[in-house]
Structures are given as C-alpha cells and as structure tokens.
Amino acid sequence: MKRVTGIGGIFFKTTDPKKTKQWYRDHLGFNTDDYGSTFWWKDQEGNDCSTQWSPFKEDTDYFTPSKKEFMMNFRVENLIKLLETLKKEGVTVIDKIEEYEYGKFGWILDPEGNKIELWEPVDKAFLP
C-alpha cells in the first residue's frame, strides 16, 4: 500500500493573510485567491495534481491540538485504509474524516504532537 504520494499543502499562521498573499503575489508571482495559491503538476501517470500554499489567520484553531505555527498536508492514495493501518501501528489518529468534492481528509499527530493533515485528493475538482 502506498502511504504518502506527495505534498498536498503547506499551511501557516500569519497576522494578516491578505497582506501576506499580496506580498507573495507581488514579489514571487504567486497566483493567489481566498485560499492562498494552488500549484499544478503532473504525477508519474501524467494526471493533474495540485499542492496548496495557504496562510491562515494567527488565531485559527485549525491546527489544534498542535501548538505549532504551521501544518503539513500530505497527499495519500487510500485515506481510510491508511488511517486504519496507522491506528494499528499506534499512531494517534484524530477520529474524524471529512469528505468534500475535492477529496477526503483525515488527521494524525506525529510524536511531538504536530497535527498532520492527510488528503485523498480529487484534483479535477479544482480544474476550470
């Protein structure tokens, strides 16, 4: 079973997400929207894939229970099977899965208590 197949996103806290997105747009050429910036690439089979860069407001509780100022999102192939396997291996699994048109999400904690988001993507939901 494949576990992580790529980086799905990099999320971090900032005092002013709008100003931060503007800076990245002006100085680094990021194509930003309300959620940050989406980077498109192809997987080994040539499928369209995306990675999300997103600044969050500093008071967000989305990263809870982690106390870190950032959170990683990893792309996975089969979220439900992977969470079952991780739980059997003693990994702390946050017991909820959320499903949207753009994929399924689950969360785990690493040994230091950092929240890790796992995403079984449906990339085509982002295509125009």
How far is C-alpha 6 from the chain's CA centre? 10
Q: For residue 77, what is the DSSP state?
A: S
Residue 124 has pLDDT above 80, yes or no: no
- Rounded average pLDDT over 74-101: 95
Burial class (CB in 10 A: 0-12, 13-18, 19+), 71: buried
The pLDDT, as a whole number, for residue 9 is 96
- Residue 32's pLDDT band, with cuts at 50, 70 and 90, is very high
β-pairing, 32-33 with 36-42? antiparallel
Please write the tens of the pLDDT for every residue from 36-84. 999 999 988 888 899 999 999 999 999 999 999 999 999 999 999 999 9
Whole-number Å distance between alpha carbons of 8 and 26: 24
Whole-number Å distance between alpha carbons of 77 and 56: 26
The pLDDT, as a whole number, for residue 95 is 79
- Residue 128's pLDDT band, with cuts at 50, 70 and 90, is low
Whole-number Å distance between alpha carbons of 47 and 101: 17
